[in-house]
Amino acid sequence: MNYLLVLVLILLVAWLMGEAFERLQMPAVVGQLVGGFLLGPAVLNWVKPSSMIATFAELGVIVLMFLAGLESDLNLLKKYFKPSIVVAVLGIALPVISIYALGRFHALSTLESLFIGVIFAATSVSISVAVLKEMHALNTDAGVTILGAAVADDILSVLLLSAVVTIFGVSDDGPQLSLPMIVGLQVLFFLLIWGLYYVVKKFPIHIWKNWQSYVSLFALLFCLLMSGIAEDVQLSAITGAFFAGIIVSQTEYRKQVTVQVENFGMLLFVPIFFVNVGLNMQLSGIMNNVWLFIDLSLLAIITKFLGAYEGSRMFGFDHVSAAEVGAGMISRGEVGLIIAEMGLKSHLISENYYSTIIAAIVITTIVAPLILRPIISIKRRKNI
Helical residues (DSSP H) of the chain, grouped into ranges: 3-23, 28-39, 51-71, 74-79, 81-105, 110-119, 126-134, 141-168, 179-202, 215-232, 237-248, 254-267, 269-279, 283-287, 290-313, 319-328, 333-345, 351-383
For residue 91, tell me if it sits in a domain: yes
The predicted model gives 338-348 an average pLDDT of: 74
In a domain, 279, yes or no: no
The CATH number given to whatever domain includes residue 215 is 1.20.1530.20
* Burial 104-115, CB ≥16 within 10 A → b, else e: eebebeebbbbb
Length of the chain: 384
Structural domain span for residue 349: 51-269+299-383
Domain assignment present for residue 100? The answer is yes
Query: Is 320 within a domain?
Result: yes
**Is there a contact between 144 and 72 (Cβ–Cβ < 8 Å)?**
yes
User: Looking at the domain assignment, is residue 23 inside a domain?
Assistant: no
In a domain, 39, yes or no: no
Q: Is residue 32 part of a domain?
A: no
Neighbours of 366 (CB within 10 A): 19
Quote the DSSP letter at residue 176.
P
94: confidence class by pLDDT, cuts 50, 70, 90: very high
Name the residue type at position 86.
Answer: V
pLDDT in tens, 178-230: 777 888 888 899 899 999 988 887 766 665 566 677 888 889 999 999 999 98
Q: What is the dihedral of CA 140, 146, 151, 153, to 10 degrees?
A: 160
Does 288 reside within a domain? no
Q: How many domains does the chain have?
A: 1
Residue 46 confidence (pLDDT): 93
Residue 150 contacts residue 308 (beta carbons within 8 Å): no
139: buried, middle or exposed (CB in 10 Å: 19+, 13-18, 0-12)? Answer: middle
Q: At what angle do helices 110-119 and 141-168 cross, to 10 degrees?
A: 150
pLDDT tens, position by position, 259-302? 999 888 888 898 998 888 788 777 776 777 899 999 999 999 99
What is the DSSP secondary structure assignment for residue 144, as one 8-state letter?
Answer: H
Nearest of 193, 221, 212 to residue 252 by alpha carbon:
212
Cα–Cα separations (whole angstroms), residue 361 to 196, 295, 332, 342, 366: 35, 12, 6, 15, 9
